[in-house]
Structure 1
């Protein structure tokens, strides 16, 4: 969840963890309950990552990168599409015929988003910001992930100030739900 380093290192490490979770899901037998547990873990990581990016990365892109508004808007649209898929996936058992289809679609969408960030957005941000600013953004991202929601909330605001006000409360509620349900304890 928190790795250290500047914002680009932090988020790239998250990307590798998400890729590893997709691979773990794919190695489990179809219908196996472990697939559901791994999908919950994947959901938690994707939601925390997305919320942190929405709170700090995209506002920085808007401020520092030429054409940043268009880039941030596209990334937010990607997040919204992924969050809707996660919400549907959340309600499915691993044996549901839709489960594997949704995981495959999710992997495709997330992989395209990751490539776009790593190949386009991160280099632009690195060129536009000082190393100290990138380090400070990394710290903010790590802090945000600690209190971010762990479940998808597709109707929640994804831009400041609404997301910064509501995400910690949703995160607290999600962590209580996770504790009571045992979600994420495998």
Structure 2
């Protein structure tokens, strides 16, 4: 969850972590509790990552990169699609016939989003920001991930200010629910 380094290094480490979880998911032969635990683990990581990007990365993209509004808006649309899939997966039994196709849709959406960020957004941010700015953003992203919700909230506003105000409270409630249920502790 917190890897260290500047914002690009931090977020790319998250990307690799999620890709590794997806590879474990694809290698699974059955479903059941093992699959539910892995889906929960992926959900926790993706929600935290998305909240941190919405609070700090995309405002920096808007501020520092030419055409940043367009880039940030596209990434927010990606997040919205992923969060809706995560919400559906949260409610779905692992033996549901739609689980496999829904997981594949999630993996495809996330892979396209990662490719876009790493090809377009991150290089532009590296060119536009100083190393100190990138390090500061990395610190902010790590703090945001530590306080972020762990469950999808697709109806929540994705503006940076609303997210900064609402995410810590939602995160506290989500982490309390996770503690009581043991969610996210099996890996």
Using structure 2 for the length normalisation, give the TM-score.
Answer: 0.98
Q: Which residue of 1 aligns with 2:183?
A: 183
Determine if contact 1:30/1:95 at 8 Å carries over to the other structure. Answer: no
Q: Which residue of 2 aligns with 1:50?
A: 50
Residues 38-80 of structure 1, C-alpha deviation per residue, up to 9 Å, x if partnerless? 0000000000000000000000000000000000000000000
Report how many aligned residue pairs link the two structures.
186
5 Å-filtered alignment, 1:150-169, equals 150-169=150-169
Determine if contact 1:31/1:94 at 8 Å carries over to the other structure. Answer: yes
RMSD between aligned alpha carbons?
0.7
Unaligned runs of 5+ in 1: none
5 Å-filtered alignment, 1:81-92, equals 81-92=81-92
Determine if contact 1:30/1:94 at 8 Å carries over to the other structure. Answer: no
5 Å-filtered alignment, 1:40-119, equals 40-119=40-119
CA distance in structure 2 between the aligned counterparts of 1:167 and 1:115, rounded to whole angstroms:
26
CA distance in structure 2 between the aligned counterparts of 1:113 and 1:178, rounded to whole angstroms:
27
CA distance in structure 1 between the aligned counterparts of 2:152 and 2:72, rounded to whole angstroms:
20
Q: Which sits farther off after the overlay, 47-56 or 28-37?
A: 28-37
CA distance in structure 1 between the aligned counterparts of 2:158 and 2:131, rounded to whole angstroms:
26
Deviation at 1:26, TM superposition (A): 1.2
* Runs of 4+ with >6 A deviation: none
Residues 2-57 of structure 1, C-alpha deviation per residue, up to 9 Å, x if partnerless? 00000000000000000000111111123232111100000000000000000000
Using structure 1 for the length normalisation, give the TM-score.
Answer: 0.98
Residues 94-118 of structure 1, C-alpha deviation per residue, up to 9 Å, x if partnerless? 1111111111000000000000000
Unaligned runs of 5+ in 2: none
